[in-house]
């Protein structure tokens, strides 16, 4: 499965799609990037005089790349015609730096384990200078059957 095919299988569309590109993916890790559009509505109110990307969106960027893209790749040989669903089950994220409108971030995620449909990843979000913005672990269930 190619990186482009993985992106096409994501169960998201704009304005809730937070993966622009995948730079690398294999059985153990994935690297992907996303640029925060300076016109996103969240910047009008978070914070009104000093716009900063909400932590929940930074977590979502890491989940869509580190959990969903990697999960699709790991299930590539068993995927059915429908789009797989993902249920996030746990997160633990430490935040270090802010992300501002227009900034590009890169997700580095490594599989901790994948068994019984549950994927746990260690994730780090980096800025264009290579500094860690935030990081931790994300876990979720990858649901590959249409009626589950």
Residues annotated as catalytic are: 46
Tokens of 144: 């590959």
DSSP letters of 14-47? TTS----EEEEE-SSEEEEEEE--TT-GGGGTSS
Judged on CB neighbours under 10 Å (0-12, 13-18, 19+), 107 is buried
Buried b (16+ CB within 10 A) or exposed e, 9-23: bbeeeeeeebbeebe
């Amino acid at each position: 499965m190619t990186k482009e095919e993985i992106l096409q299988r994501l169960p998201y569309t704009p304005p809730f799609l937070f993966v622009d590109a995948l730079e690398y993916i294999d059985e153990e890790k994935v690297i992907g990037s996303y640029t925060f559009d300076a016109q996103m509505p969240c910047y009008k109110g978070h914070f009104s005089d000093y716009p900063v990307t909400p932590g929940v969106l930074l977590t979502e960027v890491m989940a869509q790349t580190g959990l969903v893209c990697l999960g699709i790749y790991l299930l590539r040989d068993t995927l059915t015609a429908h789009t797989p669903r993902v249920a996030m089950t746990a997160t633990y994220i430490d935040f270090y730096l802010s992300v501002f409108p227009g900034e590009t971030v890169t997700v580095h995620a490594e599989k901790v384990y994948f068994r019984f449909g549950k994927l746990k990843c260690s994730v780090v979000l980096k800025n264009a200078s290579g500094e860690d913005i935030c990081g931790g672990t994300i876990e979720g269930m990858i649901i590959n059957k249409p009626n589950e």
